[in-house]
């Protein structure tokens, strides 16, 4: 039996090599089928919700943010979503329109879709209008005539969601393997990195030039992408074009906001609708059905929608504020020259009880202060597993060794000033802005910048705390 | 020769008895008989060199599939890098099957590891060395049968440890098959540099031990156990190649083993052979000690360059035998062939530095290595000319064996000539670590060696199993492999000249490489074709076991001693103790018996018989 | 069928030669922007390297065509002899001593020529004593490779605005950049190459420059860009999972532009965030 099959196979193959070849190529092509889709994963805590609450959170997120391959361009978010957007300008007709742009993020290229955000075309169900070309006058020409002529002033988006789509492609290429599909810092290469990559889902970024209470500005994110974070595995992506960098930043903001919404929802629902809470409530005399009815009522027409909108609103406000000029740290005085006096004053500040830098960074600024060896508590009030300091994401962080001359947030004086003024967000590094004057902070900056070049001798210890300048004067007067 | 006469009576007790038993085997009942051997001692822990050779062959064919799958993963990434990768992509479900860059480094590292240490070296020395050496020199078995068995069974721990490497964090060692420190020395340096690297190094040691056992055995067997009349210059070139390879292994391997232990010690015991002081990787504590990473490169290449010839010489020998038989013509320049193999082996020991032309090496030393490296092309060239000379005026039989052997020569010409570019230091500075290098060594290791092996499987399969492999499938396999191979690897030369570095998970983020994507996709399609074609070989191999045409002792009308034994030979190999009367390449000889174009080494007949002159 | 196989074998050299012939115009050849097909090296040393490449290419092409034609010829005649009914026996020969001598000596001469011909180029690239006078012990920048970027350190200016020499250790006046190496064009320049962690390689494809950065060593590398232009800088030695991420550029500038660049870098590096500094200018 098998033998005859084999012989038939032999004759078939040798008789029709072309057919056999085609079959082989088909087999090869079949390998490419069954393409998987990237997926957003849910944060820790999601699993603890009762199944109905889980599906609510899942659907709410999917409705407003979509999936990685089908990103939803939600107008509510303060993100550059579209290739360009604006209002229809003078003399629109069915084949072309002029646009008064309110934002232009990417070049308008043939083949982009057009989406109407207001006016008669908003509701029309016809084919989307594809951009054919942009004429010399800057008018957008369409491939097919529009179903109706838009009115002047109708809002229009060209390439709707194009920035996010582009950002997502670039993110998948350059960032995803560390920062994760969901921005959760759980990408395949993340687990062995020290320090761990940033988890965007709390909306917190460490190195910013905004004041302590603010989120990161776009310029801060751009600087990190351009220069990397020295001393970590975040490399410099200096050679990305401006458009590429912009698209990545917008996508990172998108992931941050998505993560924050998820975080808020999971936290809010966790109070009453986690598996544990439900169990407690049932133990307390409620019925499962009652709880379910309550939840369904809240979601369907209850105050859940309102709560959701408020959550989103507060998140959006913070991101908008971060890019306002008021959020940016501007020193009240120019940096004084790094004279021995200034450095000595900075050293005194460094050692002062008030700022207590030594508690973490150590007297010799080696990053070995007593705090880095102490048992600390986590957010839940429990002892952390290993001694040392922890950040918001529960990762062990080491205070910077200032003698190495490596400054993760940048080495410009303003970068160090901003670090002192606004702190390092999400970490135990506190903000001194307002606590100390800008002049004092500059002295501290001058001291910190001088640390790598200090001449050290064996036995030098606390006596360095004396301002060096006095020695100099004594020598001079002698 | 006194050693020969002692061999004829058998160096171990059972051989005489086995010769008698051997008669049964011509009836095609399979391997060895009697002695109340259990299945396990006959087929699993067998000390019979033929069983061990076949075990090696089957293992390496299995590993060929593993290595090929890893290679296809690499190719897929280079063609459709940001999309779902079939099979391997299942490990990256949330990423939509898009593999991570560290996984890519693992893919090419383990591809090279599997192909070099588990396929090419064992298929040549292990499978064909084992099977052919005693048969071709007329011995009843290896000199040390138990050692021989152990050399096979030391492969399995190696496979097991490499497998453990796959199961460790990072899915496998990922520092390249060259495993340059510090990437391989510091666990913090990469996901694959943790335990995966330790398992890899331990696996490597087992491969080394296995090869070493084989090497000692081959040398002893070839020196001491040749049949009466089998003088050194009557040995087939296959045996010469195996002999020289064994010597190479014996001298080079200890260096690698030592280096491997030093690296393991650096990793686990805190020694600093290769680790300089003050290096901070991944914010771990700074390293201490004053080691030198270049030391590894010297030690590694001191083995691995000769290893390139270990991966080539046996195939050269086998191809010589096959070409001569299929051309029905004596080998052209037998002694120059032997001498050039010896020259390759000798020079092979003083060219390792050419892998380090771009490292920090005393430039004067670099020049010395350049001269020796350029000169190693000479014996290779002599061999090519002699192979062409062998075909010249032959009466060619265009069967699978000949096709694969000619492909060997043709591909070796390309691989050899491209080697001259990288022997020249200034040119190498540019093409070092580009795809030009990848093209070069695939032309040598796949284009030459594997085509040689495909031919050899076809050629000696009848001797192994008593049946012929299908010619039709064999030819189809050859055709697809040949097309797929050239389509995959020739464009790599151009990629290399265009400056595309190897080991890049995503070369297309560099604008000057962007336009090479199309070519890479073409290459990947060819690679898939080639990969699928190997199933033809596998199918042919398996089906012919049962359904191949049964054959007699000498289906190819070849001259070697092995063809005088039954097919398959029984335990003890020869039913009639062979006596060697002449060299192995007396095809179409005017002195041969009437009506025959071959004149077997064991054949005492012949017109005006006289002792063959040593040529 | 025999003809088919011979044709198949002969297709290899034909396609190989064809692909190399059309390669330059299709961009499958050396990277670069000048020269007839845009593949000319952008440095004098690079052109010498290319010349050597072309010399070897010429020699190997002749050998390649010769051997492949010989192979085709022997296959063709061998196939005819092997045809059923030809009745011809193979030519019984064990070889020819004269031929062996010829095809040993001639390649040996050619190979020796290839090896010796390269010597002075190797010396010029690698021997410190052969480095151009201007760069002897005068590194303009320290390039430090790390996983996975290039950190660059330039000497800064003294109080009078004169460029300081580059010191082995970092100085307070030093200027820093990342993934962006800028040096003067049209003159030999030297950098000190280091690595912070594992082994990397400094590769400028358009200039044909490549040097490994070995942990624990500081290696001087010199090169010369013909013209003010931007070139690719990348890593050519496996350095971990992000090996491919080390994308950087080398920008060759006219000498005054280079100094201006350093001054701009200084201004950027001293920026203290107080906007009136910009207003004063």
Kindly report, residue by residue over A275-320, the tens digit of the pLDDT: 999 999 999 988 999 999 999 999 888 888 899 999 999 999 999 9
Nearest to A200 by CA among A221, A225, A216, A179: A179
**β-bridge mates for residue A449, sequence order:** none
> Helix, strand, coil shares of chain B as percentages rounded to 5?
65, 0, 35
| DSSP-assigned letter for residue A386 | S
Chain-centre distance for alpha carbon B96: 37
pLDDT along chain B (615 residues), means of 10: 35 37 39 60 88 95 95 95 87 89 94 96 94 95 95 95 90 92 92 92 94 95 95 96 96 94 94 92 88 94 93 96 94 95 94 88 86 93 96 93 97 95 92 96 95 96 95 96 96 95 94 94 96 95 94 93 93 91 91 84 74 56
pLDDT in tens, A189-212: 998 898 999 999 999 999 999 999
Evaluate whether B393 touches C70 at the Cβ level (below 8 Å): no
**Chain C closest CA to A433's CA: distance in Å?**
15
List of E strands, chain C: 141-146, 149-154, 175-178, 180-184, 189-195, 200-204, 209-213, 219-223, 229-235, 248-253
Q: Using a CB cutoff of 8 Å and minimum separation of 24, what contacts does C171-174 make? A: C171/A453, C172/A449, C172/A450, C172/A453
Percentage, residues of chain A above pLDDT 90: 59
The pair phi, psi for residue C222, each rounded to 5°, is -120, 150
Q: How many other CB atoms sit within 10 Å of the CB of residue A276?
A: 12
Nearest to A398 by CA among A407, A406, A386, A389: A389
The per-residue pLDDT for A129 is 84
The per-residue pLDDT for B1 is 33
pLDDT in tens, A385-414: 889 999 989 899 999 999 999 999 999 999
**Which residue of chain C has the CA closest to B180?**
C199
Both tokens of B298, joined, read: 């010297």
Which one of 1.10.10.10, 3.40.50.970, 3.40.50.11540, 1.20.210.10 gives the CATH number of domain B51-277+289-304? 1.20.210.10
Q: Is B258 exposed, middle or buried (0-12, 13-18, 19+ CB in 10 A)?
A: middle
**Chain A closest CA to C37's CA: distance in Å?**
26
Please report which residue ranges of B32-184 form alpha helices under DSSP H: 39, 49-80, 101-113, 121, 130-137, 145-153, 155-167
Q: How many other CB atoms sit within 10 Å of the CB of residue B30?
A: 13
**β-bridge mates for residue B95, sequence order:** none
Q: Is A94 exposed, middle or buried (0-12, 13-18, 19+ CB in 10 A)?
A: middle
pLDDT in tens, A1-37: 344 443 443 334 344 444 444 444 444 444 444 567 8
CA gap A358, B498 in Å, rounded: 55
Q: Look at the block and give the residue holding tokens 């044709």.
A: C7
**Chain B closest CA to C70's CA: distance in Å?**
7
* Range(s) within chain B of domains with CATH label 1.20.210.10: 51-277+289-304, 312-547
**β-bridge mates for residue C157, sequence order:** C163
Q: Look at the block and give the residue holding tokens 């994963």.
A: A41
DSSP string, A49-62: B-HHHHHHHHHHHH
Verify whether the Cβ–Cβ distance C74 to B378 is below 8 Å: no
Q: How many other CB atoms sit within 10 Å of the CB of residue C49?
A: 27
Verify whether the Cβ–Cβ distance A235 to C171 is below 8 Å: no
pLDDT in tens, C184-206: 999 999 999 999 999 999 999 99
| Inter-CA distances, A211 with A171, A221, A329, A330, Å | 28, 15, 6, 9
* Nearest-CB residue to A10 (from B470, B480, B532): B470
**β-bridge mates for residue A161, sequence order:** none
**Chain A closest CA to C240's CA: distance in Å?**
11
Provide the sign of the torsion angle of the four alpha carbons C159, C164, C167, C170, taken in this order. positive
**Chain C closest CA to A238's CA: distance in Å?**
7
Evaluate whether B124 touches B315 at the Cβ level (below 8 Å): yes
Indicate the SS3 state at residue A241: coil
Strand-pair category, C180-184 with C248-253 = parallel
Specify the DSSP element, H or E, that contains A177: helix A176-179
Selected for mutation to probe chain A from B94, B521, B526 (highest A CB count within 10 Å) is B94
Q: Length of chain C in residues, anyone?
A: 281
Q: Which domains does chain A have, with CATH numbers?
A: 84-160 (2.40.10), 166-321 (1.10.760.10), 340-477 (1.10.760.10)
CA gap A138, A143 in Å, rounded: 16
Selected for mutation to probe chain B from A3, A16, A31 (highest B CB count within 10 Å) is A31
Terminal C-alpha separation, chain A: 112
Indicate the SS3 state at residue A148: coil
| Inter-CA distances, C129 with B364, C123, C133, C191, Å | 12, 9, 9, 16
CATH of segment(s) B312-547: 1.20.210.10
Q: Is A472 a residue whose pLDDT tops 70?
A: no
Contacts of B83 in chain A (CB under 8 A): 35
Indicate the SS3 state at residue B248: helix
Selected for mutation to probe chain A from C177, C274, C280 (highest A CB count within 10 Å) is C274
Torsion angle, alpha carbons of A466, A467, A469, A471, to 10: 0
Residues 6+ apart with CB under 8 A from A130: A110, A111, A112, A113, A114, A142, A143, A144
pLDDT in tens, A260-287: 999 999 999 998 899 999 999 999 988 9
Contacts of A170 in chain C (CB under 8 A): none
The per-residue pLDDT for A164 is 94
Both tokens of B376, joined, read: 């190693």
| Inter-CA distances, B110 with B68, B203, B204, B314, Å | 10, 12, 12, 24
Q: Look at the block and give the residue holding tokens 């190459």.
A: C193
Percentage, residues of chain C above pLDDT 70: 98
Whether the CB of C272 is below 8 Å from some CB of chain A: the reply is: yes
Evaluate whether C116 touches C172 at the Cβ level (below 8 Å): no
Angular region, C150: left φ>0, alpha ψ -120 to 50, beta rest:
beta
pLDDT in tens, A324-351: 999 999 999 999 999 999 999 999 999 9
Q: Is B82 exposed, middle or buried (0-12, 13-18, 19+ CB in 10 A)?
A: middle
Verify whether the Cβ–Cβ distance B182 to C203 is below 8 Å: no
| DSSP-assigned letter for residue B235 | S
CA gap B229, B227 in Å, rounded: 6
Chains touching B, CB cut-off 8 Å, 3+ pairs = A, C
Nearest to C231 by CA among C214, C212, C208: C208
Q: Look at the block and give the residue holding tokens 């070697």.
A: B560
Evaluate whether B478 touches B403 at the Cβ level (below 8 Å): yes
Q: How many other CB atoms sit within 10 Å of the CB of residue A364?
A: 18
Average pLDDT, chain C: 92
Whether the CB of A13 is below 8 Å from some CB of chain B: the reply is: yes
Indicate the SS3 state at residue B19: helix
Verify whether the Cβ–Cβ distance B494 to C118 is below 8 Å: no
Percentage, residues of chain A above pLDDT 70: 87
Chain-centre distance for alpha carbon B175: 22
**β-bridge mates for residue A116, sequence order:** A156
The per-residue pLDDT for A151 is 86
């Amino acid at each position: 039996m098998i033998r005859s099959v084999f012989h038939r196979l032999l004759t078939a193959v040798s008789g029709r090599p072309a057919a056999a070849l085609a079959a082989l190529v088909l087999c090869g092509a079949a390998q490419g089928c069954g393409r998987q889709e990237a997926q957003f994963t849910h944060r820790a805590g999601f699993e603890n919700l009762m199944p109905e609450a889980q599906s609510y959170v899942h659907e709410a997120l999917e409705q407003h943010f979509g999936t990685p391959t089908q990103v939803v361009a939600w107008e509510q978010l303060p993100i550059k979503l579209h290739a360009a957007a604006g209002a229809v300008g003078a003399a629109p007709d069915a084949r072309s329109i002029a646009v008064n742009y309110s934002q232009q993020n990417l070049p308008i290229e043939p083949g982009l879709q057009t989406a109407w955000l207001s006016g008669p075309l908003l509701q029309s169900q016809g084919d989307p209008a594809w951009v054919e070309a942009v004429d010399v006058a800057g008018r957008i020409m369409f491939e097919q005539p529009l179903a109706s002529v838009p009115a002047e002033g109708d809002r229009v988006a060209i390439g709707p969601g194009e920035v996010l789509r582009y950002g997502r492609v670039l993110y998948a290429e350059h960032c995803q393997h560390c920062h994760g599909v969901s921005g959760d810092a759980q990408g395949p290469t993340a687990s062995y990195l020290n320090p761990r990559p940033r988890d965007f889902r709390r909306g917190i970024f460490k190195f910013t030039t905004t004041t302590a209470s603010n989120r990161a500005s776009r310029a801060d994110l751009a600087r990190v992408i351009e220069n990397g974070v020295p001393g970590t595995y975040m490399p410099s992506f200096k050679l990305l074009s401006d458009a590429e960098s912009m698209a990545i930043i917008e996508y990172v903001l998108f992931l941050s906001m998505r993560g924050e919404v998820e975080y808020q929802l999971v936290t809010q629902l966790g109070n009453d609708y986690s598996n544990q809470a439900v169990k407690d409530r049932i133990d307390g005399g409620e019925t499962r059905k009652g709880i379910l009815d309550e939840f369904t009522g809240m979601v369907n027409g209850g105050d859940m929608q309102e709560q959701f909108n408020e959550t989103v609103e507060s998140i959006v406000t913070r991101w908008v504020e971060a890019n306002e000029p008021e959020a940016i740290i501007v020193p009240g005085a120019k940096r004084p020259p790094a004279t021995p006096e200034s450095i000595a004053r900075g050293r005194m500040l460094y050692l002062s009880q008030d700022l207590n830098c030594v508690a973490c960074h150590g007297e010799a600024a080696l990053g070995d202060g007593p705090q880095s060896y102490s048992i600390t508590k986590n957010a839940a009030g429990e002892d952390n597993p290993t001694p040392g300091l922890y950040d918001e994401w529960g990762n062990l962080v080491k205070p910077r060794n200032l003698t190495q001359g490596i400054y993760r947030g940048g080495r410009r004086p303003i970068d160090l000033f901003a670090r002192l003024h606004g702190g390092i967000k999400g970490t135990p590094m506190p903000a001194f802005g307002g606590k100390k004057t800008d002049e004092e902070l500059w002295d501290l900056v001058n001291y910190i910048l001088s640390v790598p070049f200090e001449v050290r001798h064996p036995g030098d210890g606390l006596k360095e705390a004396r301002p060096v300048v006095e020695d100099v004067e004594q020598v001079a007067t002698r | 020769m006194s050693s020969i006469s002692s061999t004829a009576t058998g160096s171990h007790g059972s051989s005489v008895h086995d010769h008698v038993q051997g008669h049964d085997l011509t009836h095609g009942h399979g391997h060895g008989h009697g002695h109340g051997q259990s299945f396990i001692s006959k087929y699993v822990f067998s000390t019979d060199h033929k069983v061990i050779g076949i075990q090696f062959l089957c293992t390496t064919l299995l590993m060929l599939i593993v290595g090929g799958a890893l290679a296809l993963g690499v190719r897929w990434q280079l063609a459709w890098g940001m999309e779902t990768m079939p099979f391997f992509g299942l490990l990256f479900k949330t990423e939509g099957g898009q593999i991570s860059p560290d996984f890519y480094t693992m893919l090419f590292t383990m591809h090279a590891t599997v192909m070099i240490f588990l396929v090419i070296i064992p298929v040549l020395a292990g499978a064909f060395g084992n099977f052919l050496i005693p048969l071709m020199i007329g011995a009843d078995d290896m000199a040390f049968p138990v050692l021989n068995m152990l050399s096979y069974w030391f492969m399995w721990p190696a496979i097991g440890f490499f497998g453990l490497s796959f199961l460790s964090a990072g899915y496998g060692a990922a520092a390249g098959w060259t495993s340059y420190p510090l990437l391989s020395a510091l666990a913090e340096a990469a996901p694959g540099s943790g335990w995966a690297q330790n398992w890899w190094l331990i696996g490597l040691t087992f491969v080394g031990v296995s090869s070493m056992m084989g090497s000692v055995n081959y040398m002893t067997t070839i020196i001491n156990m040749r049949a009466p009349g089998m003088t050194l210059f009557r040995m087939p070139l296959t045996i010469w190649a195996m002999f020289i390879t064994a010597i190479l292994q014996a001298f080079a391997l200890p260096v690698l083993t030592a280096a491997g232990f030093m690296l393991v010690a650096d990793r686990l015991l805190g020694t600093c052979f290769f680790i300089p002081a003050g290096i901070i990787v991944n914010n771990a504590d700074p390293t201490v000690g004053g080691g030198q990473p270049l030391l590894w490169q010297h030690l590694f290449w001191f083995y691995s360059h000769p290893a390139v010839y270990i991966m080539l010489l046996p195939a050269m020998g086998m191809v010589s035998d096959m070409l001569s038989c299929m051309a029905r013509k004596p080998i052209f320049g037998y002694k120059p062939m032997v001498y050039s193999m010896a020259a390759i082996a000798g020079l092979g020991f003083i060219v390792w530095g050419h892998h380090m032309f771009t490292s920090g090496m005393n430039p004067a030393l670099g020049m010395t290595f350049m001269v020796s490296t350029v000169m190693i092309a000479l014996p290779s060239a002599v061999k090519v000319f002699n192979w062409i000379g062998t075909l010249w005026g032959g009466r060619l039989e265009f069967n699978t064996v000949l096709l694969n052997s000619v492909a060997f020569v043709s591909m070796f010409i390309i691989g050899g000539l491209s080697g001259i570019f990288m022997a020249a230091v200034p040119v190498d500075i540019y093409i070092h670590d580009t795809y030009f290098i990848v093209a070069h060594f695939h032309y040598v290791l796949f284009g030459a060696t594997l085509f040689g092996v495909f031919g050899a499987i076809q050629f000696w399969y009848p001797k192994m199993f008593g049946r012929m492999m299908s010619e039709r499938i064999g030819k189809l396999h050859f055709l697809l492999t040949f097309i797929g191979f050239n389509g995959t690897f020739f464009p790599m030369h151009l990629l290399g000249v265009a400056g595309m570095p190897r080991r890049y998970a995503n070369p297309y983020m560099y604008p000057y490489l962007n336009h090479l994507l199309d070519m890479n996709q073409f290459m990947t399609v060819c690679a898939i074709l080639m990969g699928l074609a190997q199933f033809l070989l596998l199918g042919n191999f398996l089906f012919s076991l049962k359904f191949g045409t049964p054959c007699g002792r000498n289906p190819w009308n070849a001259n070697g001693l092995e063809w005088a034994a039954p097919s398959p030979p029984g335990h003890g190999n020869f039913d009639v103790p062979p006596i060697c009367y002449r060299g192995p390449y007396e095809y179409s000889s005017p002195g041969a018996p009437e009506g025959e174009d071959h004149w077997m080494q064991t054949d005492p007949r012949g017109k005006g018989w006289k002792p063959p002159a040593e040529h | 069928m025999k003809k088919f196989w011979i044709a198949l074998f002969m297709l290899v050299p034909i396609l190989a030669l064809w692909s190399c012939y059309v390669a330059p115009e299709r961009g499958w050849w050396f990277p670069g922007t000048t020269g007839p097909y845009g593949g000319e090296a952008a440095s004098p040393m690079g052109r010498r390297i290319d010349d050597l490449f072309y010399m070897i290419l010429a020699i190997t092409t002749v050998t390649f065509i010769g051997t492949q034609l010989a192979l085709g010829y022997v296959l063709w005649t061998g196939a005819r002899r092997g045809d059923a009914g030809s009745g011809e026996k193979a030519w019984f020969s064990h070889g020819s001593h004269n031929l062996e001598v010829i095809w040993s000596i001639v390649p040996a001469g050619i190979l020796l020529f290839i090896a010796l011909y390269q010597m002075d180029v190797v010396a010029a690239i690698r021997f410190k004593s052969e480095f151009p006078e201007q760069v002897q012990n005068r590194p303009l920048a320290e390039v430090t490779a790390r996983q996975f970027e290039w950190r660059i350190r330039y000497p800064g200016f003294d109080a009078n605005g004169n460029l300081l020499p580059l010191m082995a250790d970092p100085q307070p006046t030093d200027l820093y950049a990342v993934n962006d190496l800028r040096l003067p064009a049209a003159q030999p320049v030297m950098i000190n190459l280091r690595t912070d962690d594992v082994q990397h390689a400094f590769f400028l494809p358009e200039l044909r420059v490549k040097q490994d950065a070995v942990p624990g060593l500081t290696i001087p590398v010199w090169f010369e860009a013909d013209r003010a232009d931007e070139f690719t800088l990348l890593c050519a030695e496996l350095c971990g999972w992000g090996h491919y991420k080390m994308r950087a550029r080398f920008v060759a500038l006219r000498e005054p532009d280079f100094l201006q660049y350093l001054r701009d870098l200084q201004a950027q590096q001293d920026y203290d965030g107080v906007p009136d500094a910009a207003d004063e200018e």
